[in-house]
Amino acid sequence: MLDEPTNDLDLETLDLLQEVIADYDGTVLIVSHDRDFLDRTVTVTLGLDGSGHVDVVAGGYADWVKQRGPKPELRGATASKTQAAPPTPPKSRAKLSYKDQRDLDLLPKEIEKLEAAIARDTAAMADPNLYMRDPKTFDQLMKAIEKARADRDAAELRWLELAEMAENLAG
C-alpha cells in the first residue's frame, strides 16, 4: 500500500517508482492526489467524489472522470452554480504511459507463451490412460490449462484496450 508515494520525489525517482510498480506482479493499492501519476500507473481506480459513493473504473483518474460525467453537487455547498468555475477537462497525453507501452509491446509474446502452454498441456491430456495412470498429474494439467486460459483471456483483453488507446492517441 502506497500513501501519497509521489510527495517530494524528483523526476528521476518518480520514473523509477513508476517502473517498479509496472514490474510488480502483485496488487498495489495507491492513495494519491497526483492525477498524472495515477493515469500512468493504475489499471483500476476507486474514485471517491465526496458524495459517499465509490466508483470502480478500469483505468486511471482520467478514465474515472470520463465515466462519472458531470460532478454532482455536494450537500451543503454554499457556492451557486453561476459562481462555480467550469471544470477543466483532464489533459490528454500525447503518448501511452511507460507501463501501458511496455504492456502493449510485451503482451503478444506473453499470449504466445500462454497459447503454447495450453497446447502442450492439452496434448499431454490427450493420453487416454493418463487419468488411470497418474490422477495427480491429470489434475495438475487441468488446473494449469484453466489458469493459462484465464491469463491468456486477460492478456488479450488488456492488449486490445491498449491497442485502442494507442490508436486513439495516434489519430
Query: pLDDT tens, 1-39?
Result: 888 888 877 878 888 888 888 888 888 888 888 888 888
Spatial distance between the Cα atoms of 96 and 84, rounded to a whole number of angstroms: 33
Q: Report CA-CA distances (Å) from 16 to 10, 33, 164.
A: 10, 19, 26
Class of CATH domain 98-170: mainly alpha
Query: pLDDT tens, 117-162?
Result: 999 999 998 898 988 999 999 999 999 999 999 999 999 999 999 9
Q: How far apart are the first and last CA of the chain?
A: 36
Start-end of H helices in the chain: 11-23, 35-41, 61-68, 98-125, 130-133, 135-170
- Range 133-141 contact pairs with CB under 8 angstroms and sequence separation of 24 or more: none
Spatial distance between the Cα atoms of 169 and 112, rounded to a whole number of angstroms: 26
**Residue owning grid cell 486511471:** 60
Query: pLDDT tens, 37-74?
Result: 888 888 888 877 777 777 787 878 787 778 776 655 54
Q: What is the pTM of this model?
A: 0.46
Spatial distance between the Cα atoms of 163 and 157, rounded to a whole number of angstroms: 10
**Cβ neighbours around 45 below 10 Å, total:** 21
* 127, 133, 136, 137: CA torsion to nearest 10: -30
Helix (H, G, I), strand (E, B) or coil at 53: coil
Per the structure block, which three cell numbers stand in for 48?
Answer: 471517491
Residue closest to 152 by CA, chosen among 112, 123, 121: 112
Domain coordinates of the chain in residue numbers? 2-68, 98-170
Spatial distance between the Cα atoms of 38 and 50, rounded to a whole number of angstroms: 19
Query: pLDDT tens, 69-103?
Result: 665 554 444 444 445 555 555 554 468 888 888 99
- Range 73-76 contact pairs with CB under 8 angstroms and sequence separation of 24 or more: 74/50, 75/51
